[in-house]
Amino acid sequence: MPMEKYQYMSNVWRDGIFDNKVVFCTGGAGTICSAQVRAMVALGANACIIGRNTEKTENMAKDIATSRKGAKVIGIGAVDVRKPELLQAAAERCVRELGSLDFVIAGAAGNFLAPMDQVSPNAMKSVIDIDVLGSYNTVKATLPYLVDSARKHRTDGKTQPLHGTGGRIIFVSATLHYAGTPLQSHVSVAKAGVDAMAVSVAIEQGPKGITSNIIAPGPIADTEGIARLSSSEGRNRSYKAIPSGRFGTVKEIADATIYLFSDSGNYVNGETIVVDGGQWHTAGFANGSDYPEFLLSGEKVTGVTGGKKSKL
């Protein structure tokens, strides 16, 4: 049964703005990325989502397709973004079956909770490889198609594009590294690398009509990250550190995605759109929170569901 539209996008967007366009998304079966793709599909796009778990990815593709009658959504599972040949094959299939590749969302990521002295070299390498190398491999596999799309849909900002927009990339990042976050050194390093890459792509590929931007979500309700990486007590306390007074929704990430990929985002390039209710401005130990003394004790992380049991 199709989701209610307002669950994954605001009602301010005009139907059909992404007609005959194709979005390619790694991590596409995840809570946030699937909402981003679902919104694009509802507004006219077709899509190709990439994931590790074949069944989950294919089922999510079928579910996303219910957002618009006649939508085509391909789910390609068993793809490890650390393997460039698999992403190359996925991009080729996307173009072969859907006709083009106009937008890319690099959303694959890995995470768990652990202080640096409990993060093994292999775990650190795995997170960096998934986030940074995976984003790089995604860009490399799709860039020729994006350049072609950007050339066809270039705009001068003065006249409405006759055939819409294209040639745009969004990297899904985070705000963890802005002020430093306990238990997240590995992910902070990786996301900082993703941010740097996005800016480099904007500078180097901008003259070809490519735009490359970052969306940095804050705490988003009902996502796997919130469920795995915090306790219920921690979630209740964290509201105090969010100026907007609540967790965000996947709809709000999807709205930022539409903005950057649509005609409204033509002149935004190499920038970070933070969608976090102002949380990172009060990051650290705001509002009188106590210092986490367990960091000094050497004890294993407890009280969260996404602790040191990671297989990375």
Q: List, for residues 64-112, the tens digit of each pLDDT value.
A: 999 999 999 999 999 999 999 999 999 999 999 999 999 999 999 988 8
Q: Decide if pLDDT at 305 tops 90.
A: no
Q: Which residue, chain included where needed, has tokens 């799709």?
A: 142
Q: Decide if pLDDT at 291 tops 70.
A: no
- Among the options 34, 100, 191, 251, which is catalytic? 191
Q: Is 170 helix (H, G, I), strand (E, B) or coil?
A: strand
- Confidence (pLDDT) at 222: 81
- Confidence (pLDDT) at 265: 97
Q: Decide if pLDDT at 19 tops 70.
A: yes
- Among the options 126, 135, 149, 173, which is catalytic? 173
The mean of the pLDDT values for the chain is 90
Q: List, for residues 176-229, the tens digit of each pLDDT value.
A: 999 988 889 999 999 999 999 999 999 999 999 999 999 999 999 887 666 554
Query: What distance in Å separates the CA atoms of residue 259 and residue 273, rounded to the nearest whole number?
Result: 10
Tell which residue, 94, 171, 99, has the closest CA to residue 139. 171
With beta carbons less than 8 A apart as the criterion, state whether 47 and 64 touch: yes
Query: What distance in Å separates the CA atoms of residue 1 and residue 236, rounded to the nearest whole number?
Result: 32
Q: Decide if pLDDT at 143 tops 90.
A: yes
Residues 6+ apart with CB under 8 A from 156: none
Distance between start and end Cα atoms, the chain:
35
Count CB-CB contacts under 10 A for residue 278: 13
Q: List, for residues 198-211, the tens digit of each pLDDT value.
A: 999 999 999 999 99
Over residues 3-28, the mean pLDDT reads: 95
User: Known catalytic residue: 309?
Assistant: no
What pTM was estimated for this model as a whole?
Answer: 0.90
CATH of 5-278, one of 2.30.30.30, 3.40.50.300, 3.20.20.70, 3.40.50.720: 3.40.50.720
User: Known catalytic residue: 56?
Assistant: no
pLDDT-based confidence at residue 288 (cuts at 50, 70, 90): very low
Query: What distance in Å separates the CA atoms of residue 95 and residue 21, rounded to the nearest whole number?
Result: 11
Query: What distance in Å separates the CA atoms of residue 149 and residue 100, rounded to the nearest whole number?
Result: 8
Q: Is 76 helix (H, G, I), strand (E, B) or coil?
A: strand
Domain ranges for the chain: 5-278
* Bridge partners (DSSP) listed for residue 76: 50
